[in-house]
Amino acid sequence: MCDRRSFLRTTTLGAAGLTVAFTRLARAGAPARELHLALLSDTHVPGDRENGHRGMNPWENLRSAVPQVVAARPDGAVVCGDVARLEGRPEDYVELRALLEPVAAVAPVYVGLGNHDDRDNFRKAFPTPPGALAPVKARHVTVVEHPALRVIVLDSLLYVNQVAGLLGQAQRAWLEAALPGFADRPVVLFAHHPPTDADGDLLDGDRLLALCRANRQVKAVFHGHAHVWSVGHREGLPIVSLPALGYNFDDAQPVGWVDARFRSDGAALTLRAVAGNRADDGKAAQLEWS
């Protein structure tokens, strides 16, 4: 069993940790009943600022989105993997960190890892990430505490620049041990790869969903990887596919981020499209859970 106290510690990245903000709210007599997060995914930031794909420039797309995120004044931001262009090179993370500095100046930035990331290079660029890091060897797993719910950002990076992802036995064992102790409030999971049975998705996705079924406090799973904006369900569990910010694979898809407001009984998810198909920019999807 994991020592829960060993990972419920908060560090910061150029911004005050969420714990500090919530303490101030409580002292002011205004308990935080909503967690406001900016959700980004598949930024694919390159070391070469001109490197793009499908006529789109990921570096420019993130630079365009950052002022919107800052103006939204979220409590934090989650970047759901594939933050680097293709191979997770050191220069990719240098550019990523510089682009995210305006966000990190106003809110913690929680970064998940995907198949185009390199764990060692990421850690060198982000040596003191915010949130409570779970004690899972060779994985970057973050727990974010909030009075309304908990957010867990998982690590599905298996091989750099190969498509499929895997949580792995150690990460699943930690999650299985930790979730029963998190039953006092809703839990929302983030992982780069979707929990489907496609060869290029999360190879142990069925086992993740089994853990969700066994722990009904898990209310939703968010993922990237598909470069698709959609809200669906698996056996009643909301599964949210975040839009890519770097570029889309299909002209019908938006390129952008999601302004999310989580409550203990659900969430409002508003698309902020900066490129691609912008027809649904500003439209909100509602999630409800009991």
What confidence tens digit (pLDDT) does each residue in 108-167 have?
A: 999 999 999 999 999 999 999 999 999 999 999 999 999 999 999 999 999 999 999 999
Q: Cα separation of 122 and 129, whole Å?
A: 10
- The answer, as to whether pTM is greater than 0.85, is yes
H or E segment at 258? strand 254-263
pLDDT band at 32 (very low <50, low <70, confident <90, very high): low
Residue 46 pLDDT level (bands cut at 50, 70, 90): very high
Which band of pLDDT confidence, cut at 50, 70 and 90, is reported for residue 28? Answer: very low
Structure tokens at 129: 């990430």
What does the mean pLDDT of the chain come to? 90
Distance of alpha carbon 215 from alpha carbon 233, whole angstroms: 16
Residue with tokens 């993997």: 81
Angle in degrees, CA 11, 12, 16, rounded to 5:
120
In angstroms and rounded to an integer, the radius of gyration of the C-alpha atoms of the chain is 17
Backbone region of residue 159 per phi and psi (left: phi > 0; alpha: psi in -120 to 50; beta: other values): beta
Residues 6+ apart with CB under 8 A from 161: 86, 87, 88, 115, 116
